[in-house]
Structure 1
Amino acid sequence: MDVLVLIGRILFAALFLASAVGHLTQTKAMAGYATSRGVPAAVPAVLGSGVLLLAGGLSVLLGVWPDLGALLLIVFLVPTAVLMHAFWKETDPQARQMEMVQFQKDMALAGASLMLLGLIAHADGELGLTLTGPLFDID
């Protein structure tokens, strides 16, 4: 089971780490898009979300308090879904559908992150192949 969880963590974290690189290297372009979606203080928001993605992704990948890393990803995903993919505001059917898919993807990833947080915190270090045990203790 340890190897399966490690492979899952690697595959899961890869998405967030790649996104973190984009946020931190293409900040101006991403801030322009965030501004167009109505996000206030877009540049700090993009940088802050890039840091959340990087910290959460590395934490899950390396197994350094991976439950905390999963929580950081939730903190990124839920507001992003609501602010950036507000499909209910779209009037064009094609744009509405595209934003709905992105909203659902972010919410599904938030759900997976929540499950990961619970699994890691409940396992209390029994999963192995991590650098530290969980930060949280959920019985």
Structure 2
Amino acid sequence: MILRRVARPLLAAIFISGGLNALRQAEGHAQAAEPFLSENVLPVAEALPVETDPVAVVKFDGAVKVAAGTMLALGKFRRLSSLALLTSITATTVAGHRFWEKTDEGERAQEQVQFLKNAGLAGGLILAMADTEGKPSVGWRAKRAARKARNEVAGTTDSLHHATVKAKGKAESKLDKAGKALTAH
């Protein structure tokens, strides 16, 4: 559908642009993210086998945005790329746009706008993740397959029941004939 071919690249453009900007100016982004990272992420991340340097974290996030944004724009791995971008924008929003901590009203209003913009982008990503392109969802297909299997089992059970009743009837008929033949002699 033409709508998807236009909407996905439009949604992805902000992530590709932001990712490239983060890669080019990682130090500046790291300075902005460092308080959040130091407070919330780095104490936990030291136990993990990953790079915990704020500049490295920013570069990784930028690379994710560029790669996943490009894949979303091209319509490849749409759900996975949308999930990666949703994870990235959630972290970026919480780390970089903490408007509730700002005391200056102008700065607070600016951060709130950025926070809400990112929330809107997150909503678009959720829609992109849920888009099945007109194909039935996995849940619908699973329910349909279960119903079909249940009907086949029921049909097989009915067939077996009818075959058993028919065989029983034939056996009883043969027994009756054999019994009559024995009593006649």
Name the CA distance, whole Å, in 2 between partners of 1:65 and 1:38: 31
CA contact (8 A) 1:118 1:138 kept: no
1:76-91 superposed matches below 5 A = 76-91=88-103
| Structure 2 counterpart of 1:103 | 115
Name the CA distance, whole Å, in 2 between partners of 1:19 and 1:87: 20
Higher Cα Rg: structure 1 or 2?
2
| Structure 1 counterpart of 2:15 | 16
TM-score, normalised by the number of residues in structure 1: 0.80
Residue-by-residue CA offset, 1:73-112 (whole Å, 9 max, x unaligned):
1001112111111111111111111111111111111111
Greater share of helix? 2
| Structure 2 counterpart of 1:53 | 65
CA RMSD of aligned residues (A): 2.0
The offset of 1:137, in angstroms, is 4.1
- Partner secondary structure for residue 37 of structure 2: coil
% identical equivalent positions: 29
1:116-131 superposed matches below 5 A = 116-120=128-132, 123-124=134-135
Runs of 4 or more above 6 Å deviation: none
Question: Are the structure 2 counterparts of residues 15 and 94 from structure 1 closer, same or farther at C-alpha, using a change threshold of 3 Å?
Answer: same
Aligned amino acid, residue 94 of structure 1: G
CA contact (8 A) 1:13 1:58 kept: yes
CA contact (8 A) 2:11 2:121 kept: no
Residue-by-residue CA offset, 1:5-55 (whole Å, 9 max, x unaligned):
1011121111111111111122122222323x5333321221121022012
The offset of 1:114, in angstroms, is 0.6
Alignment partner for residue 78 of structure 2, among 56, 63, 66? Answer: 66
Aligned amino acid, residue 2 of structure 2: V
| Structure 1 counterpart of 2:36 | 38
TM-score, normalised by the number of residues in structure 2: 0.62
Residue-by-residue CA offset, 1:49-78 (whole Å, 9 max, x unaligned):
102201210110111111111111100111
Paired residues, number? 126
CA contact (8 A) 1:59 1:68 kept: no
CA contact (8 A) 1:55 1:72 kept: no
| Structure 2 counterpart of 1:94 | 106
| Structure 2 counterpart of 1:115 | 127
Which one has more relative contact order, counting CA pairs under 8 Å at least 6 apart? 1
Name the CA distance, whole Å, in 1 between partners of 2:11 and 2:77: 15
